[in-house]
Each structure stands twice: as C-alpha cells, then as structure tokens.
Copies of this chain bind each other. A is one copy, B any other.
Amino acid sequence: MKGKIFIIEDETSIIQLVQHNLEKEGFVVSSSTNGNDGLKELKKFEPNLLLLDWMLPDLSGIDVCKSIRRDKNYKNLPIIMLTAKGEEEDKVKGLESGVDDYITKPFGFNELMARIKALLRRSDPKTVSDDLIFEDLKLDRTERRVFRDNNEIHLGPTEFRLLEFFLLNPKRVFSRDQILESVWPNNINVESRTIDVHIRRLRQSINLSGKKELVRTVRSAGYSLS
C-alpha cells in the first residue's frame, strides 16, 4: 500500500495515532492542526486522500472542503470527514460540499483503513496495492510472496516479517531492540544475537548470485535495507 495522505485535525493525539498506523501500512503522511495552514500545505504535499476534521479552530471542515473543491486540481481528491457523535445530522451539508465519506469518532483503525482503501480503489486503483518494493526486491503482502529480480524466493515466517519491516522503512537504520519490538510477537524474550542469525538467513535467501547485498550492517548501531 502506497500513496500520500494528508490530515487536518486539531487533536494532536489523534494525528499521532493515525499517522503512526498509516505509516506502518506504507503511506506517506503529513498533517496540519488548522484549516488555513492545512489548505496551503496540502497543495504542496499533493496527497492522494485527505482526512478532514469536522470542527477546526479557525474554519469548519465544510469550509475547508468547499475551498478545496473550488480548485480544479482537487475536484476529485477523496475526502473522509471525521465527525464526533452528535454532528451526524449535518451529514447532508457535508455531502453537498463534496465530502466522499464519513467516519464517526471514536473509530477503530481497521474501519478507517477499510474506508481509505475503498475510496482509493475507486479514485486511483494503482495506489491500492499491498506490494512493498525496493529496487529489484518485491514483497506481495496479499499473496505473501517475495521476489528478487522476478524470481520467487521462499522465506520463513520470521524472515518474511523481518523483510516486511525493513521494506516499510527502507534505508533507515534500526537497532536490535527496535527490530525485536517490531518484528517479534509481544512479550517474547529472545537473545539479541538471534536477530543476527535471522539477518544472515534473510541475506542468504534474497542474495541471488551476482546481485548486490541489500542488508547493510551498521556496526554498533544495527541493520538497514539499502
């Protein structure tokens, strides 16, 4: 899953939660906490989808929405409005101003994800893909397959999760602790050296002969994909 998502929402706790989870899914995320800044930054960011709060400090979500629709470059930008309970009666106003979908706070992340996918699939099917790609390496999450240079590669469950993790944040260096927390199931205790062994296994699997090394060791810091 790729694509860019912009958030205009004044509660920073919600932004953080949503942003973190969306990034884990592979989206690029940016945000503003008020309407006027949001309108400006949104045009720089060029998102594939907008999450828009109903109540903002300066403008209302509806004002923002109308303003966006006036710009012909954003006539078709999918917009999901975030509403609190009790604001639901005004849905009609929202639909008239050009909102594509609603979600009522508090919402679960899975519900939000489903609506985002549905909208993106409609507006721009290419962005809805669970494929993670880095150079000639491809990981297909729905089919659970991995390819290097179009040759399928078999990975064990842990190697698969490990590679998935690196692909979600390519080039970034992660410490062994970070890798443990993100790749291993919660509340499990394994030696830090165990990671080294899995890295070795992953390297061995994805390194077709003649192809360059993709997993980089950063001495005394950790590993990264590069």
Contact = CB atoms under 8 A, between A and B. Distances in A.
A144 interface: yes
A20 B118 contact: yes
Interface stretch (A45-53, A64-72, A203-211, A218-226): A218-226
Nearest to A20: B118
Interface residues of A, number: 30
Contacts of A171: 142-143
Interface stretch (A93-101, A104-112, A176-184, A186-194): A93-101
A173 B31 CA distance: 34
Interface string A110-128: 0000000010001000000
Contacts of A218: 144
Given A31-B122, A157-B220, A101 B12 contact: yes
Contacts of A19: 118
Contact of A172 (B11, B118, B142): B142
A93 B226 CA distance: 47
